[in-house]
């Protein structure tokens, strides 16, 4: 990678590598298109919250997001990718964009659920669970937690992570058909 890249230049390069327009990325973050244009032009820096949402939208691995946020906020130059291992540098540019998903983008960050999110991700990655059911009363954030976990695990599942809506399925024999008919998204 070019050692002279500013954060704005890096952001533009990453956005284009993901085949996203400024409008699409602004919708994902969410922010105004003009704000994204100013960041890419080096006229302003993102807030901490916006940098975190950019990291999520750009597929930056969870373990390197704090370094990414510092790069975005403090302008540490393109030395930020140099802090990553060689494998992480390759993954930064190549692994996430090829992952497929139909997961909706979260309108706001998932706050206060770090422990739950970590538990769900660990259980899904352990290999001991082929199915994980989240239970609880309506409105406590089960779907939001599942979508957050799915987003975090995109790089871990080469075939993608998909949301299958089963709320309208009342006959258990139709579950497999519903899974098979799930759109394969972006």
Q: Compute the distance between CA of residue 9 and CA of residue 3 in angstroms, rounded to an integer.
A: 11
Whether residue 108 lies inside any domain: the answer is no
155 located within any domain: yes
What integer is the mean pLDDT of 62-79?
A: 76
User: Percent of the chain having pLDDT more than 70?
Assistant: 82
Question: What is the structure's pLDDT at 57?
Answer: 85
Residue 186 lies in a domain: no
Helix axis angle for 33-40 and 7-17, nearest 10°, is: 120
pLDDT band at 36 (very low <50, low <70, confident <90, very high): very high
Is pLDDT at 39 greater than 90 in this prediction? yes
Mean pLDDT (whole number) for 119-124: 91
Nearest partner of 123 among 152, 159, 166, judged by Cα: 152
Which of 32, 64, 98 is the last residue before a domain boundary?
98
Distance CA 160, CA 129 (A): 17
Is pLDDT of 109 > 70?
yes
* End position of a domain, from candidates 72, 98, 124: 98
């Amino acid at each position: 990678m070019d050692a002279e890249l500013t954060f704005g230049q890096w952001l533009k390069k990453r956005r284009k590598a993901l085949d996203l327009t400024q409008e699409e990325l602004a919708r994902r973050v969410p922010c105004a298109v003009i704000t994204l244009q100013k960041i890419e032009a080096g006229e302003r820096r993102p807030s901490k919250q916006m940098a975190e949402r950019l990291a999520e939208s750009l597929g930056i691995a969870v373990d390197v997001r704090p370094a990414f946020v510092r790069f975005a906020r403090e302008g540490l130059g393109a030395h930020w990718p140099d802090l990553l291992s060689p494998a992480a540098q390759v993954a930064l540019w190549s692994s996430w964009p090829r992952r497929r998903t139909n997961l909706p983008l979260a309108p706001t960050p998932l706050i206060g659920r770090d422990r739950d999110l970590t538990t769900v991700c660990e259980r899904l990655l352990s290999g001991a669970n082929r199915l994980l059911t989240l239970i609880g009363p309506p409105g406590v954030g089960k779907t939001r937690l599942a979508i957050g976990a799915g987003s975090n695990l995109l790089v871990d599942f080469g075939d993608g992570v998909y949301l299958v809506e089963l709320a309208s399925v009342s006959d258990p024999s139709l579950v497999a058909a519903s899974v098979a008919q799930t759109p394969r998204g972006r």
